[in-house]
């Protein structure tokens, strides 16, 4: 490993976790008017995930807040970058192609590998909204979400 790549990886991790800590605090976990004598710091690891090899030349961390109305969802899509999702409120149903569908509740987190097809991303409730944060770590300029790639079945037609 050469020095620039090692430093780029360290920078990416630092930016990523600084953004995560900042947004966690913004989610109401650290009240700004709390008295230092009355509050004790608490921390917990929400998720630990090894990221794929990044080239380290043009790293960018992006945090996106997403809200789905009751019963809301997105169409199938893919993310060219690795994504870590943290559910702020409500419950989110999610499924990446090849994995079972799961429901994540407020305070829970999950990882999506780059280029996985996100087949289900939906509010699990028909009465309450869901809000979540998506943390993207990209090593090149790219759209954060793209249409899923199409596969050709044995007959040669696209599906």
* Terminal-residue alpha carbon distance, the chain: 41
Give the count of domains, the chain.
1
Q: Range of 70's domain? A: 3-28+51-138
Residue 33 lies in a domain: no
Q: Cα–Cα distance between 67 and 73 in angstroms, integer?
A: 9
State pLDDT tens for residues 42-56.
Answer: 767 776 767 777 777
pLDDT at 27 over 70: no
pTM for the full predicted model: 0.66
Residue 41 lies in a domain: no
- Check if the beta carbon of residue 37 is closer than 8 Å to that of residue 92: no
* CATH code for position 85: 2.60.120.10
State pLDDT tens for residues 61-114.
Answer: 899 999 999 999 999 999 988 999 999 999 999 999 999 999 999 999 999 989
């Amino acid at each position: 490993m050469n020095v620039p790549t090692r430093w780029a990886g360290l920078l990416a991790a630092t930016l990523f976790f600084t953004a995560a800590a900042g947004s966690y605090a913004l989610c109401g976990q650290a009240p700004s008017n709390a008295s230092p004598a009355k509050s004790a710091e608490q921390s917990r690891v929400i998720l630990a995930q090894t990221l794929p090899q990044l080239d380290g030349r043009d790293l960018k961390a992006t945090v996106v807040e997403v809200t789905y109305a009751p019963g809301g969802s997105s169409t199938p899509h893919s993310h060219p970058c690795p994504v870590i999702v943290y559910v702020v409120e409500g419950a989110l149903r999610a499924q990446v192609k090849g994995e079972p569908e799961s429901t994540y509740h407020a305070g829970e987190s999950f990882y999506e590998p780059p280029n996985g097809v996100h087949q289900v991303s939906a509010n699990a409730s028909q009465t309450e909204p869901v809000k979540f944060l998506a943390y993207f770590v990209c090593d090149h300029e790219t759209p954060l979400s793209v249409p899923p790639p199409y596969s050709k079945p044995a007959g040669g037609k696209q599906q």
